[in-house]
Amino acid sequence: MDRNTVTEMIIEAKVRKGITWAQVAEHVGQSKEWTTAACLGQMTLDDAQANAVVTLFGLPAEAALWLKHTPYKGSLPTSVPTDPLIYRFYELISVYGTTFKELIHEEFGDGIMSAIDFKMDLQREPDPKGDRVQIVMSGKFLPYKTY
């Protein structure tokens, strides 16, 4: 067993049980965004969180060890994503990345927005022309230091 196998087992069990990521998050006790990332292999779960996932999905006990293991983050199968939804985020960064960088540097100075000290909220925004996806991201600003 490895982390990828556990991720595949989680997805299979989620589909079989017909539950939502929000329901999984409620069971784990974290946000739906963090819980989804964790179940998809991008975050490290603690003992209680790992045991909650194992119990909810009926996974073997060994799966908890892999859920608590620090994952290899940011691991997409290709450098340019081919999945249409994920590609749109790549496209968004290609088009607006320099704008994000310029405005963050103008407002905060020379530094980065942390993906470690980070939170995200994804919601459906009803619209008569077709529902919209609203994603609010908030990351701690980390200035570059001089030495």
Query: Can 33 be counted among the known catalytic residues?
Result: no
Catalytic residue among 16, 114, 132, 138: 114
For 54-102, write each residue's pLDDT tens digit: 999 999 999 999 999 999 888 777 788 889 999 999 999 999 998 999 9
The yes-or-no answer on residue 31 being catalytic is no
Closest CA to 4 of 66, 47, 51: 66
Catalytic residue among 12, 62, 91, 102: 91
| 114 counts as catalytic | yes
Cβ-contact 45, 38 below 8 angstroms: yes
User: Are 125 and 131 contacting, i.e. CB atoms less than 8 angstroms apart?
Assistant: yes
| Mean pLDDT lowest among 5-9, 51-55, 94-98 | 94-98
Determine which one of 16, 75, 88, 102 is catalytic: 88
